[in-house]
Amino acid sequence: MKFELVFIPYPGIGHLRSTVEIAKLLADHETRLSISIIILPFISGGELGASDYVAALSAASNNRLRYQVISEKDEPTAELTNLETHIENQVLKVKRAVATLVDDYSKLPDSPRIVGFVLDMFCTSMMDVANEFGVPSYMFYTSNAGILALGYHIQMLYDENKYNVSESDYEDSGAVLNVPSLSRPYPVKCLPQGLVSKMWLPMYVNQARKFREMKGILINTVAELEPYNQDDGSKDEKQSDILRWLDQQPPSSVVFLCFGSMGGLSEEQVREIAIALERSGHRFLWSLRRASPNIFKEPPREFMNLEDVLPEGFLDRTKDIGRVIGWAPQVAVLANPAIGGFVTHCGWNSTLESLWFGVPTAAWPLYAEQKFNAFVMVEELGLAVEIRKYWRGDHVAGPSMVVVTAEEIETSIKCLMEQDSEVRKRVKEMSEKCHVALMDGGTSQTSLERFIQDVMNNICLT
């Protein structure tokens, strides 16, 4: 019997890409399975490259893997305070889309049977839709198992009135949390902003409660990486030029700097990075964009004139060893043998991609759960070097990020690019484990098989 899953990713490019990849893995692994991915409207017009990516997905739809784009017509503008509202506004549209799908299948012979929803971590309100159609909900958690466990732990403390972290002074706190998923005490000052914010904490606590109602959770990780618990395929000229330049560089000689789809920098911070890069003497590829005044209304954009923000003469002095670019084909760059280190915001997709290709990282967390990711990579696993021990501010919450000095950045880059470092050796070992995990009998492959079996059991229950 043919069966089908309905995936509903959160409308952010990082969430959408990883959801598409897990859907492809599942469809490739089980020929009886088809998947419909419902793409919700992006907030405030979306992120750089999002519309092209969605268009490419739509064009690639087939009988096994379909993409349905929900119209943003008459969509109310979603502000920082109502991220949940934006998703809730899509519930009726998703219900209609699934009803149409069910109706279409009822008219076709040998059509698949919908046996479950797979919801993004921010789309738990869609559980009501799954319930109406009489099928269970699973969750695809786009970040790592450790931050999921931290969220559960804080929800438990919150519900027992034992969570008393203050938003006003947590960054100066010397307190620690004993999180079940970590082998080391976790500093309160490393908590993501959302888990201490008066505005956001109730949402995250409620989210954790909803997670417990799921029939199962798929986590975007590798068991070997967490024992305690973006390539869009385009081949435009800009990408080809970047990769041609990398092909001309010696192996492991280039440090790559990229801060994700929502990562932008102030002019002051740009100058500090430029000074550090020039002083370090290392070859570099720098994906540079300016900070957005309001990340929920406008994504980071490229600087209009680099010479206005970079130190005078920087581009001329470094023209033989470096490139400053806007958008970067991150997966293709990390796969290039010339890349020897990656200065990253510690987004989980970026973290996994760097490990897959065996590239050591320097941690520079900016928002969301990235402080946690940095702590795990640097302190818990020894798979990254640090830019700074602890971080103030949150890139999304407002323009409160402190400026990191050129001296700090230079020191970290030199440490990152050491060819015989322990970090580099550990990363190479973890890279091999990640590849093995996806082979027959590997931990990730086995987990996918267990999930598929659970989904197939739903056929007997519905």
Whether residues 180 and 252 share a domain: the answer is no
- For residue 101, pLDDT beyond 80: yes
Whether residues 344 and 398 share a domain: the answer is yes
Whether residues 399 and 256 share a domain: the answer is yes
Summarised one tens digit per residue, pLDDT across range 8-28 is 999 988 999 999 999 999 999
94, 266, 368 from 402: Cα distances, Å = 41, 10, 16
pTM as predicted:
0.79
Predicted confidence band of residue 388 (pLDDT cuts 50, 70, 90)? confident
Region 382-410 average pLDDT: 80
- Considering only 150-159, 298-307, 340-349, which range has the smallest mean pLDDT? 298-307
What type of residue is 431? S
Whether residues 306 and 272 share a domain: the answer is yes
pLDDT at position 174: 93
Q: What percent of the chain has pLDDT over 90?
A: 72
Predicted confidence band of residue 402 (pLDDT cuts 50, 70, 90)? confident
In whole angstroms, what is the distance from residue 274 CA to residue 410 CA? Answer: 10
Whether residues 414 and 452 share a domain: the answer is no
Q: Is residue 412 part of a domain?
A: yes
Whether residues 82 and 190 share a domain: the answer is no
Cα angle for residues 239, 243, 245 (degrees, 5° grid): 120
Predicted confidence band of residue 371 (pLDDT cuts 50, 70, 90)? very high
Region 390-418 average pLDDT: 82
Share in percent of the chain as helix, strand, coil (round to 5): 45, 15, 40
- Range(s) of the domain holding residue 118: 3-142+440-461
Predicted confidence band of residue 204 (pLDDT cuts 50, 70, 90)? very high
Among 294, 145, 286, 158, residue whose Cα is nearest residue 224: 145
In whole angstroms, what is the distance from residue 118 CA to residue 105 CA? Answer: 19
Q: Is residue 355 part of a domain?
A: yes
Q: Is residue 225 part of a domain?
A: no
Which residue has better confidence, 133 or 394? 133
State the CATH number of the domain containing residue 242: 3.40.50.2000
Q: Is residue 95 part of a domain?
A: yes
In whole angstroms, what is the distance from residue 412 CA to residue 407 CA? Answer: 9
Q: What percent of the chain has pLDDT over 70?
A: 91
Whether residues 363 and 384 share a domain: the answer is yes
Mean per-residue pLDDT of the chain: 89
Whether residues 264 and 123 share a domain: the answer is no
